[in-house]
Structure 1
Amino acid sequence: MQQALAVALLVLVALSLPVRADRHDLVEMVTGEDARGWEAVGRLDLGGRGFCTGALIAPDLVLTAAHCLYDRDSGTRIDPTDIEFKAGMRGGRALAYRNVRRAVAPDAYTFTGAGSGAASPDDVALLELAQPIRSARIMPFETLDSIATGAQVGVVSYAHDRAEAPSLQETCDVLGEENGLLVMGCDVDYGSSGSPVFSFEDGVARIVSVISAKAEMEGRSVAIGVALAGPLPDLRARMAQGTGAFGGLSSGQVRVIGAGQRTETGARFVRP
């Protein structure tokens, strides 16, 4: 298993690359009944530079991926006030619309570009909304620090081919964890960046990770998520203090081989 995980982390590819993942148990939530309980997941529109997925973990806080805060082509930081969170968006209409006021990510995170062949355990961010969302229909999710290998999780996401309504994959396995990154057999694609990964322990949906990248392991498409235990408590504290900065590279950042190359183990980089 450890060897398989090492192979997976050697073949990471950014979600902005259009690689098809295996699709199973993926259900588009097109009606209010379909989306019941998931209204706090929404689409993050990035000032005309595309979109990501995010989820409320407090009335005024959205959890997403740090790389969503950057223009994928130029690498420049997107002004947080240009980002809009659309809670529970279906059919082009959201239950609530909120502009973002402030964003924080770990000091150790540095954006290395779309398709750079890197994944970071610091690829997580908190966004503060300009106004809280207070609605009985839109309840923020709790978070969990960890999830066991072999546990089943689910992902709610928007993606390039399902941009107008979220989709739920309720059954995918946690294949392992290494260096603060979770490897999961979940269906993700570009636009899925920042999507919440849910545990269903005791019948309650709690966020245990956010989607950062996708990879190929032994010919199978897998998703890479950030474990929340390390970065999230610090982000909450910094948000409460009104501080935030982006620093240098994380010591745990994972790098991969170039497109089309093979490792000594025969692992192949996922082509765009």
Structure 2
Amino acid sequence: MPFLKTLFCGFVVSVCLTTLALSEGLPVVDGSTRSDWTAVGAVIAQGTEGGSSCSGTLVAPDLIITAAHCTTQKEGLLDSLRFFAGQDGTRFVASSGSSDIIRHPDWADATGSDKYRFDVAVVRLSRPISRDVVSPVLLVPAQRRLPQEAVFLGYQNDTGPRLHGRFDCALYPLTTQGLLTSECHVIRGNSGGAVVVRLEQNWYLAGTIVARREPEGTALAAQLNDWLRGHVSAALNREAQRLAR
């Protein structure tokens, strides 16, 4: 496997510390399309020495999926995150802080391709986001064959916190490794972003952006796994219990 680089983006005074050419990343999603993808948002941590920024996807009213390496505490950062759904510059559709951060149990000690396969985490939100405000993204059905194209979405902070994405990314599943690759380019800040596929008339989350393959700069994503599906199922059960009260 080519050399891989995670896409965690640190910043001080809101300036993204990346030396990668901006043209290598995903293009900005135009305004007429952006409103369809408000479930993909920015995941922000702030601290005494600056902050960090990644991407995340709302999959239940109180749960987002992101990359595990986006949730590790850095020096000077707070041990909590905030999710901004549909952020567009200084505006956003909804936001919530985190009440719990759970990383895949096999990620910390993983090596080789498993370090990327298990680079996923779920963040439980302290305040659920109403479905009337943001519709969570459905998970692709288990064992479903993926199409040959996918949408790659994430935040980059190169022109302010706006959604970036490509809607024509060729998709190459590495099923035995639990990974997805594509020829679409990603840069820092895209980590935790969504890989979305269209099946019949619906869009489904198929994976989470976790790294870029060097020297090409192309995307690597972790496929959905049973661990993630279990946490999403539990979140949907919590929602049902809240509605039944």
Q: TM-score range with shorter-chain normalisation? A: 0.7 to 0.9
Call closer, same or farther: CA 1:21–1:198 in 2, change over 3 Å: farther
Alignment pair present for 1:126 and 2:126: no
Alignment pair present for 1:176 and 2:176: no
Call closer, same or farther: CA 1:37–1:149 in 2, change over 3 Å: closer
Q: What's the TM-score once normalised by structure 1's chain length? A: 0.71
Q: 1:136 and 1:241 mapped to 2: Cα distance?
A: 18
Identity of aligned residues (%): 23
Call closer, same or farther: CA 1:133–1:111 in 2, change over 3 Å: farther
Aligned-pair Cα RMSD in Å:
3.1
Call closer, same or farther: CA 1:29–1:111 in 2, change over 3 Å: farther
Q: Secondary structure at the residue paired with 2:205?
A: strand
Q: 1:142 and 1:108 mapped to 2: Cα distance?
A: 24
Unpaired runs of 5+ residues, structure 2, are 9-17, 239-245
Q: What's the TM-score once normalised by structure 2's chain length? A: 0.78
Call closer, same or farther: CA 1:121–1:231 in 2, change over 3 Å: farther
**Does the aligned pair in 2 maintain the 1:13–1:118 contact within 8 Å?**
no
1:221 corresponds to: 217
2:154 corresponds to: 157
Q: Secondary structure at the residue paired with 1:153?
A: strand
2:14 corresponds to: none
**Does the aligned pair in 2 maintain the 1:21–1:221 contact within 8 Å?**
no
Per-residue deviation, residues 32-57 of structure 1 (Å, max 9, x unmatched): x3312111111011124311101110
**Residue 108 (structure 1) shift:** 0.9
**Does the aligned pair in 2 maintain the 1:155–1:169 contact within 8 Å?**
yes
Call closer, same or farther: CA 1:198–1:240 in 2, change over 3 Å: closer
Letter in 1 for 2:105: D
1:35 corresponds to: 34
Per-residue deviation, residues 96-127 of structure 1 (Å, max 9, x unmatched): 12111111122111189xxx998421111111
Higher relative contact order (CA 8 A, sep 6+): 1
- Higher-helix-fraction structure: 2
Where do 4+ consecutive residues of structure 1 move more than 3 Å?
A: 16-24, 116-119, 145-150, 234-242
